[in-house]
């Protein structure tokens, strides 16, 4: 089988993963606390080519690319004032803790609300926890003292969904909670659009390479194979 087909196809698969991530970044460009993802690509091991008659080395042949790893950009997004008493942002390091059906998870999205039980909750209804691990109660007038919210340091933070993280808690973080403000997404829409166009061009190049190889194989089968020795 023509090895070039596999090389082109592997590059197209890697670009499909990249396009999915860029599209997700664009979709969450206005999601508070969202952190963008990045994928690194790596070449498969190269194959050494040699002359089949003499054994003389000819050179190497790349065998395509693959996704090596996916990392999340944990840098802080811009903080903007909202004036809403149940909006919170962390300036510096740290994460809010929320209780989910999958256990305690952590987030930088501080767009909270009031639960029927009078406690602070996320937009998905998850309880927001204080440093003691208990739900944060909302006081009279629908306000919360920012000091009640837990700010946790995480090691080995791993993204879960779009805004939550898991990891090992390493005590209280040094970040400062700012009330009436939200941390914006750190995904740059302009940069994401440039990445999307570049990825599409790379994907398109792979398609053209496959079409060219397919036409060559077709000619080999229909023309070369039909020669009768003349």
pLDDT in tens, 168-218: 999 999 999 999 999 999 998 888 889 889 888 888 888 888 888 878 877
Q: Looking at the whole model, is its pTM more than 0.85?
A: no
3-state DSSP helix/strand/coil percent for the chain, to nearest 5? 30, 35, 35
The count of other CB atoms within 10 Å of the CB of residue 222 is 9
pLDDT in tens, 66-119: 677 788 999 999 999 999 999 999 999 999 999 999 999 999 999 999 999 999
134 and 219: one domain? no
The percent of residues above 70 in pLDDT, for the chain, comes to 83
Domain that holds residue 12: 3-74+187-225
- Domain membership of residue 17 (yes or no) is yes
Residues 144, 126, 180: CA angle, nearest 5 degrees = 30
Counted domains in the chain: 2
40 and 119: one domain? no
201 and 137: one domain? no
- Domain membership of residue 230 (yes or no) is no
What are the b/e assignments for 171-202, b being 16+ CB within 10 Å? eebebebbbebbbbbbbeeeebeebbeebeeb
27 and 107: one domain? no
66 and 26: one domain? yes
CB 161 within 8 A of CB 31: no
69 and 39: one domain? yes
- Domain membership of residue 172 (yes or no) is yes
């Amino acid at each position: 089988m023509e090895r070039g087909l596999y090389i082109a196809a592997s590059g197209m698969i890697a670009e499909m993963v990249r396009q999915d991530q860029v599209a997700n970044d664009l979709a969450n460009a206005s999601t508070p606390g969202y952190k963008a993802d990045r994928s690194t690509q790596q070449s498969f091991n190269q194959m050494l080519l040699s002359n089949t008659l003499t054994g003389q080395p000819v050179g190497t042949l790349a065998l395509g690319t693959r996704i090596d790893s996916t990392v999340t950009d944990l840098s802080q997004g811009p903080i903007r004032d909202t004036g809403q008493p149940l909006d919170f942002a962390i300036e510096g390091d740290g994460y809010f803790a929320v209780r989910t059906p999958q256990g305690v998870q952590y987030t930088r999205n501080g767009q909270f609300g009031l639960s029927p039980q009078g406690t602070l909750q996320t937009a998905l209804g998850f309880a927001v926890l204080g440093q003691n691990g208990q739900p944060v109660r909302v006081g009279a007038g629908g306000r919360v003292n920012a000091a009640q919210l837990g700010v946790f340091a995480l090691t080995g933070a791993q993204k879960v969904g779009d805004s939550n993280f898991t990891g090992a808690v390493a005590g209280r973080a040094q970040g400062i909670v700012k009330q009436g403000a939200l941390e914006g997404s750190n995904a740059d829409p302009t940069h994401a659009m440039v990445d999307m166009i570049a990825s599409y061009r790379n994907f398109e190049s792979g398609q053209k390479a496959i079409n060219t190889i397919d036409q060559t194989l077709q000619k080999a089968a229909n023309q070369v194979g039909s020669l009768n020795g003349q």
